[in-house]
Amino acid sequence: MEQYKQDFIEFMVDSNALKFGSFTLKSGRQSPFFMNAGSYVTGTQLRKLGEYYARAIHEKYGDDFDVLFGPAYKGIPLSVAAAMAYSELYGKDVRYCSNRKEAKDHGDAGILLGSGMKDGDRVVIIEDVTTSGKSIEETYPIITAQAKVEIKGLMVSLNRMEKGPAGKGSALDEIRERYHIEAAAIVTMQEVVEHLYNRPYKGQVYIDDAAKAAIDEYYKVYGA
């Protein structure tokens, strides 16, 4: 596993963005782990988060894109932080864009925040985590309605590696099949378990035998 992935897993834990226990997801599933990008709240955390996204995006797409699109609301700071980090790390200015939940009819009118879209733009969508793929279902038509753009793919922070709504594979797999775009993550839940299982981090074991057993049971039902 690449060093930046190991560092990112520890960063998620340090930021309290990745938790272990018992959590009811939006889908209704009872999960033994939970990832919440809303826990990144300080300038330092957002700077580091942007760097991790930028590294993963560069590894996956190189410089072959023009716009980072972050769906409202959590995607807004993600796209801003990643665009800043990309410029700093790789010397390329990419634009950020997000959507409003409701179109604005005065001043800076329209559905978009940040950069507009123009024909020929290559877009990478950036999100925190995808469980059901519902967010992409809402986001994809918003982007494609703006101009004749090419959506290069989707980058999330954590691939939960569980069945999507169609039950054909993971949510990311279903997104690839339905929209014919790439879909990737900074880390997978398998990598998280590999890195933290029975391994003390700052004096604490976050995935002990009991937590590992709960995760294994969860994946027997929901794993892709």
Residue 27 amino acid letter: S
Q: Is 58 a catalytic residue?
A: no
Q: Of residues 106, 180, 202, 220, which has the active-site annotation?
A: 106
Beta sheet of 122-126, edge-to-edge order: 110-114, 95-104, 67-70, 122-126, 150-159, 182-188
What are the Cα distances from residue 116, in Å, to 54, 77, 98, 113, 176?
21, 17, 9, 8, 25
Spatial distance between the Cα atoms of 222 and 41, rounded to a whole number of angstroms? 31
Residues 6+ apart with CB under 8 A from 102: none
Query: What SS3 state is found at 198?
Result: coil
- What is the distance of C-alpha 44 from the center of its chain? 19
Q: Is 148 a catalytic residue?
A: no
Spatial distance between the Cα atoms of 124 and 142, rounded to a whole number of angstroms? 14
Spatial distance between the Cα atoms of 201 and 101, rounded to a whole number of angstroms? 40
- 184 CB neighbour count, 10 Å cutoff: 18
Q: Of residues 92, 104, 118, 148, which has the active-site annotation?
A: 104
Q: Which residues are catalytic?
A: 104, 106
